[in-house]
Structure 1
């Protein structure tokens, strides 16, 4: 294991301090997607006005904007229901994944027995189990939260397994030399090494949470944005349908932005070796 002099440590500390990003998002990161969105809406409005895009497929931006104003209370009510389902499943699934990954890191036998099934599970669409969950748990919040939890569990579990095993062997040798306990190795070496993997999983989970909630609402709920999409489609209320879709997309982006901001706040622990 290579040695580090005091001067090297001081320069590394200064470099890390100068390169650690602040909490302000750079304009270059925000401006391009904003300009692209504005241009996309302008093209959409022009094509709708020219009749190139049939309004029975995609209403004009003006019609959807009016739908937001007219049915604001309805969209808010269903959005709050979906938010509660998605966030509950997001927290439950990720917490369970982290705890199970830590347990499996202590037992190689459990890891060898369960890990192949975790890999296979990613090829099975969770929506196939939604009717069964509705039968077991009933309609409403429980089956939807269960679907979301399962959707976010396996990506987080697999990433945490990789993250906990990614720590440098030299660090483990040093901890062994210091007679550190298994808990001390986990807290000092394995857990910091797994944090970048955890945030990578959280970014995937941020999208999977709302997707899972909306899809599960098609079958097992009588509230939520997914339910609103189904009902609007059945009655050909396309502005309401697209308004619900846009709200769901916005909520997904908000949750993803929160995860990214937290990751930036914890940059000292989430940075890779090449970033330091």
Structure 2
């Protein structure tokens, strides 16, 4: 069985995130595989997987900010706010032709910063215990509540026109929980011609980048696995433990660090002298307690 660690996969279009998890389970010979944030089948790019005990790290990765490259088509709306849905409204050619770059940039500016966003009705958000998209497919009318998200960067990279549409290539940096499909819908609504997403690629999740990911086809899991200690040290401050400190934390005991300044409540990666991840700890003053432990018998051999 493959050891514990994080795997960076460049998801192909047409695959669900579950498809990638299922393939990885077979490749790695373990059922304990999870992912840090779903990508729609249409989307490509960075999907972060946790194997074995490193699935415990995924909770801390999910909440990090994300970066996307996307193409928004202005001029028509769809049932799913992306290219996989049916067209429900198409703007007159004259309205599309009248769209100015200035109006597009102004609408994007209004969608930048801290905003209230209504997720797409075909999202995976649960409504009374059932996924919203399942309710929509069953013929129900679903309108989700707006939720606060932060769009820290929303940049136009290119703009292309046809007689029926304006395609806007954008780069978006946003908080966890942001729906890029909803941004496309809202941008189209703001400029009065409708809009939907035609391409989406996730290029970064927190400190992890798609350039370091590999396609799932032909992937050698063991050689690409980022050991838990390395992954945790990328995410958090790294604290080198003494042998006794490692033993104490493993047994659930707090440790005292005399020269430590007051803690900030942020997780810290506690690394044993052997180099393996003992766990994530939290400092309160000069004392540290374990937030989550990691077993030492799943150390990656890569």
Name the one with the larger strand percent.
2
TM-score of the superposed pair, with normalisation by structure 1? 0.23
Question: Which one has a bigger Cα radius of gyration?
Answer: 1
TM-score of the superposed pair, with normalisation by structure 2? 0.22
Name the one with the larger helix percent.
1
Q: Which has the higher contact order (CA 8 A, sep 6+)?
A: 1
